[in-house]
Amino acid sequence: MDREYLATGFADVDRTQNKEDYFSCLALLDSLPYYRGYKTRSYDLLDLGPGMAVLDAGCGLGDDAVRMARRVSPGGRVIGLDASGAMIEKARANPLCGALPVEFLKGDVKALPFADESFARCRIDRTLQHLSNPQKAIDELVRVLKPCGRLLAYDNDWDSFSITPGDPDVTATIIRLWRGSFPNAAAGRLLPEMFIAAGLKDVKTYSGMSVVTDFHKANQIYNLDETVDKAVAAGLITPSRGRAWLADLAAGAAQGFLIASLTASTVIGEKDKE
């Protein structure tokens, strides 16, 4: 079975043929030090504490929801919500769930199934890049946030994506094709604007950069093989140039100078008292 194209498939995982590709990608990212670092910082920025009700929107495999559940015990609760029933099923299978105040629900972040002012904290991580109308999701998260509650979002800015070595013309073609596959490729740099438009105050932005130097990991995360195939099928590059480009990346990784980098933003804001 062919590998899934992650840039487009994450928008509706339940309609895809090979869901394991999405599970594997999320598990890989969660294992990388950079990702674990920004996730831990997000919990700290939210200032989680016992008794809080927290929503993790676009929760994926539920690892963040489980970690946050530890911080809101005793007396608190975390709800992980995802549009994918397959993701929710995997999250519920986490053996830690039974011992922690965490629940997983299938739902749409653009139409949240919760009453106004239900949560002290809301979090959304790398979900807005897959939405064609991300402002609607932000507005919904603000709606269910309690007065003085905090919303935190993390997302990528695909205009910042770079990868080297390799033929620069082929690189530009591959990046352009990959970037153009996301419904909202500029999500990371638009977060502050969306927060302010939703009426949040004290909006703060923290930048970060992920760097992948392993060819096989970069290939899994960024679908390099599949993007080359798409570029060849569209007549943008020849098969030989595509194969040579991939070979250059693999050789560069073996010699220690492959760099695949991507800038992202963590943005946090607070809902007004009234």
- Give me the CATH number covering residue 48: 3.40.50.150
Q: How many helices (H) and strands (E) does the chain have?
A: 11, 7
At 98 the pLDDT is 84
At 97 the pLDDT is 86
At 1 the pLDDT is 47
DSSP character string of 29-97: HHHSHHHHHHHHHHHHHHT--TT-EEEEET-TTSHHHHHHHHHHTTT-EEEEEES-HHHHHHHHT-TTG
Is residue 264 exposed (0-12), middle (13-18) or buried (19+ Cβ within 10 Å)?
Answer: buried
> Running DSSP on this structure, what letter comes out for residue 11?
G
Residue 183 lies in a domain: yes
Residue 81 lies in a domain: yes
Which single residue is written with the structure tokens 């972040």? 109
From first to last of its 274 residues, the chain has per-residue pLDDT tens of: 478 999 999 999 999 999 999 999 999 999 999 999 999 999 999 999 999 999 999 999 999 999 999 999 999 999 999 999 999 999 999 988 888 999 999 999 999 999 999 999 999 999 999 999 999 999 999 999 999 999 999 999 999 999 999 999 999 999 999 999 999 999 999 999 999 999 999 999 999 999 999 999 999 999 999 999 999 999 999 999 999 999 999 999 999 999 999 999 999 999 998 7
At 273 the pLDDT is 86
CB atoms within 10 A of CB 200: 23
Residue 1 lies in a domain: no
Domain total in the chain: 1
Residue 166 lies in a domain: yes
At 84 the pLDDT is 98
Distances (CA, A) of 131 to 12, 96, 134, 241: 10, 30, 5, 33
Residue 243 lies in a domain: yes
Supply the range of the domain harboring residue 138.
Answer: 6-270
Residue 110 lies in a domain: yes
At 14 the pLDDT is 97
Residue 25 lies in a domain: yes
